Chain A
Amino acid sequence: MYFNPRIEQKIVRTVLWLFTFITVAILVFIVVFILRKGLPVVNWEFLSRNPLDMGKAGGVFSTIVGTIALTLMALVVATPLGVGTAIFLTEYTFENRLTRIIRFGAECLAGIPSIIFGLFGFILFVTKLKFGWSILSGGLTLAFMILPTIIRTSEEAIRSVPESYRQVSFSLGSTKWQTVSRVVLPSALPGIVTGVILSIGRSIGETAAVIFTAGSVLRLPSSIFSSSRTMAVHFYILAREGISMPMAYGTAAILVIAILVINLATYYLMEKFIRRYS
């Protein structure tokens, strides 16, 4: 079968445009749908008050706090571990069997369904280590879940720092760690941050891993040993148990907005950072 290359070009162009359009349209549809259903119940009261009557009334304040606490907990644990592992794999070892095994392990970890992490976290943190249903247990479980993403993206980012930077740094009399901390990491930061943002998104939206480990208590958490409910879990319970669909959509709307805001804020900060350093 023969196509005139010019016609072929037009067809391919149209098809690719259509694919892009469909992708964007789906995204816009979801966001608009959720905001339209959810925004009517969102007001200052909704944001600032704790849920009442299982979530039928009141607001979602405690679940916002719970979400932030869990996500922070996960990031505080997973970022140093993940970035540290990535630095070790790229800068402190030569490629060998061990690094390949570690990388393979991290990739397998990334493919495990989150509910398995939930179960694992429940067995290890909640029961074995007796942390109970708590922000600590949930945060650690989320940390394990996002660790592979952080390792992988950090590794890519560090690898893409030009070798010549390292050569120059060493030739000017730097130690390994000086090179890593002053040259490699600043250059790799945008990539590392991208990985961290992806992880934040995953943590905020996670239900299965969290419901088993942080519980679903509606009270405002008072310490990392308090059980807490995240927005995603709150949404799941409200919708699943038919408690209140308007409240569920309100929660969903805030979740969507939060993720948008986090992304925008980070990209803005990143822009500023890159302009300063290059």
Chain B
Amino acid sequence: MLNKINLEVFHNEILGIIGPAASGKTTFLRSLNRLNDLRPGSRVEGTIEIDGQDIYAPEVSVVELRRRLGMVFATPVPLPRSIYENVIFGNRLAGMRNKHELDDLVERSLEQVGLWGEVADRLDSSACKLSGGQQQRLCIARILALRPEFILLDEPTSGLDPISTMKIEDSLNRLKKDYSIILVTNNTKQAARVADRTAFFLSGELIEIGPSDKIFTAPANPKTNDYVSGRFG
């Protein structure tokens, strides 16, 4: 249940979304790529627009929309296929067949998340055999292969070790020059490290949004202050 959320996402920025569990961060993210449609009894009021186009308008193709908003989930979910097939899964769905293009795409996408060097010699082996951190970067590569406009990340490093987390944060910093990134995280320090702006959610409401420096040092709302300083959450 979300309420009173009004925010804008700019091009080429990382927008961090922080907030305690059940504050609506994930629900917000899932309403952007309309993954919430799949839940029985979900209902949407208000509008979400991309470049002025309402994404809940009846003429919008949900399939197309989801390709424009790549999503990475909290736990890495490699599909039970080879590394290669995982990367181009979305492209195959879209009907891409040219072997050369696909090969290129695999290399470039894996390169972008710094995984190419680690897996180039075993693209045909199962993606499930990669480590957790590698799997999560594979998941990012998988959405990059679709060349989305937005990257939605739902606590992408919650199950990962600090080194894997660092690698993913590095990738995000490199990626933001080409993409708009929304990073939901329950690790406030992560938002402070990588987000240009940060939004604070609480009980399904947007409490405050602003440049990360300001949110983490001088928030306007006392609730934000309490959360980022660790008084609750």
Q: Please report A residues at the B interface, Cβ cutoff 8 Å.
A: 94, 162, 164-175, 178, 182-183, 186-187, 277-278
Q: How far is the CB of A190 from chain B (nearest CB, A)?
A: 11
Question: Complex: how many Å from CA A170 to CA B65?
Answer: 11
Minimum C-beta distance from A221 to chain B (A) = 42
27 residue pairs A–B, Cβ–Cβ below 8 Å: A94-B40, A162-B77, A164-B77, A165-B77, A165-B79, A167-B35, A167-B73, A168-B77, A168-B79, A168-B139, A170-B35, A171-B33, A171-B35, A171-B66, A171-B70, A171-B73, A171-B143, A172-B66, A172-B143, A173-B90, A173-B94, A174-B90, A175-B63, A187-B80, A277-B80, A278-B80, A278-B128
B25 close to chain A: CB less than 8 A = no
With most chain B CB atoms within 10 A of its CB, the pick from A170, A182, A186, A187 is A170
B73-A168 in contact (CB<8A): yes
A169-B40 contact in complex given A174-B93, A175-B63, A278-B128, C-beta closer than 8 Å: no
Chain A CB within 8 A of B146 CB? yes
The 9 closest A-B pairs by CB, nearest first: A172-B90, A173-B67, A278-B80, A171-B71, A164-B77, A173-B66, A94-B40, A168-B77, A174-B93
Is B165 in contact with chain A by the CB < 8 A criterion? no
How many chain B residues sit at the interface, stated as a range, is: 20 to 34
Q: How far is the CB of B202 from chain A (nearest CB, A)?
A: 25
Q: In the complex, are the beta carbons of A277 and B81 less than 8 A apart?
A: yes
With a cutoff of 8 Å between Cβ atoms, the chain A residues found around residue B35 in the complex are 167, 170-171
Question: Which residues in B have some Cβ–Cβ distance to A below 8 Å?
Answer: 33, 35, 38, 40, 63-64, 66-67, 70-71, 73, 75, 77, 79-81, 89-90, 93-94, 126, 128, 139, 142-143, 146
Q: Considering the complex, give the chain B residue whose CB is closest to the CB of A94.
A: B40
**Closest residue on chain B to residue A186 by CB atoms:** B80
Cβ of B93 and Cβ of A172 under 8 Å apart? yes
Q: Is A173 in contact with B93, judged by CB distance below 8 angstroms?
A: yes
Evaluate contact between A174 and B63: CB separation under 8 angstroms.
Answer: yes
Complex-state Cα separation, A94 to B94, whole angstroms: 27
The interface residues of chain A lying within 8 Å CB-to-CB of B93 are 172-175, 178, 182
Contact of A172 among B67, B80, B126 (CB under 8 A): B67
Q: Residue on A with the closest CB to B90?
A: A172
